[in-house]
Amino acid sequence: MKSLISNIQIQVQHSLYLKDPLSSELGKKIIKGSIELICELGFEQFTFKKLAVKIASTEASVYRYFESKNKVLLYLTNWYWSWLEYRLVFATTNVPSAYDQLTKAVYLLTEDITEDGNFEHIDEGKLHQIVLSESLKSFLTKDVDSDNEGGAFAPYKNLVQRISNIILQINPNYKYPHMLVSTVVEGAHIQRHFANHLPRLTDVVEGEDAVAEFYSQIVFKAIK
């Protein structure tokens, strides 16, 4: 399975970059360096000048791939949601029960992800931390409508739709599947962030993944 996943190339919307980062070693360094810097410094302190120094290149070279740092963030979150959908497909293939599929889906949406090493230019653990703390900044912007028209959020919407379809297999009359799934995603991000930085705002239960368990209960109780 690991060998199979490593041969997959995650597709990212063409509108998010000027030159495909996967087309060159420099492009892959830009992606890898961006993940490391944003994870280390935060998105506000991340600049192309700092990135250029980190990867021993020039700002001009970075600008040949991305027009702005917001496009870099959109690229990274776009990649993340596409990757998560691939993982969901693999996890639910040959699982006949919709209940079991949904259980796996909720776990994938809420788990604390670590690096799996399948993509040499992507540290999935650090990217997950970026998504937890910075992904809202990718769509709480003035450009959200134009970014949406360009397909920036298509993978996120595809993931939500796929899991919504599973929910409707279980309860075809449930009226709020998309709202439920997106609430689980964003809520789990906030709870993970709280657990790491503001633990008195959440519940950490020894010997249990409290975030995954909490949202699993919410989902199955909601759709009954």
pLDDT tens-place string over residues 13-68: 899 999 999 999 999 999 999 999 999 999 999 999 999 999 999 999 999 999 99
109 inside domain: yes
Q: How many Cα atoms are found within 13 Å in the side-chain-facing hemisphere of 31?
A: 26
> Do residues 116 and 124 touch, judged by C-beta distance below 8 A?
yes
The domain total for the chain is 1
- Give per-residue pLDDT as tens, 139-169: 888 989 999 998 889 999 999 999 999 999 9
> What percent of the chain is predicted at pLDDT more than 90?
79
- Is residue 56 assigned to a domain? no
Q: Is residue 139 within 8 Å of residue 199, measured between CB atoms?
A: no
**Which domain, by its residues, includes 153?**
2-8+75-222
164 inside domain: yes
Compute φ and ψ for 84, nearest 5 degrees: -65, -35
| 142 is a domain residue | yes
Which token pair is 43? 């998105």
Buried b (16+ CB within 10 A) or exposed e, 110-146: beebeeeebbeebbbebbbbbbbbbbeebbeeeeeee
Domain for residue 58, yes or no? no
Whether pLDDT at 1 is above 50? no
Q: What are φ and ψ of residue 118, in 5° steps?
A: -80, -20
Q: What is the pLDDT of residue 115?
A: 60
- CB-count burial class (<10 Å; 0-12, 13-18, 19+) for 92: buried
Spatial separation of the C-alpha atoms in residues 30 and 167, rounded to whole Å:
38
pLDDT band at 117 (very low <50, low <70, confident <90, very high): low
Comparing CA positions, the residue from 112, 106, 105 lying closest to residue 194 is 112
Structure tokens at 195: 């657990």
Q: Is residue 131 part of a domain?
A: yes
36 located within any domain: no
Residue 135 maps to a domain: yes
pLDDT at 3 over 50: no
Q: In Å, how far are 31, 32, 44, 118, 210 from 75, measured between CA atoms?
A: 9, 12, 16, 18, 30
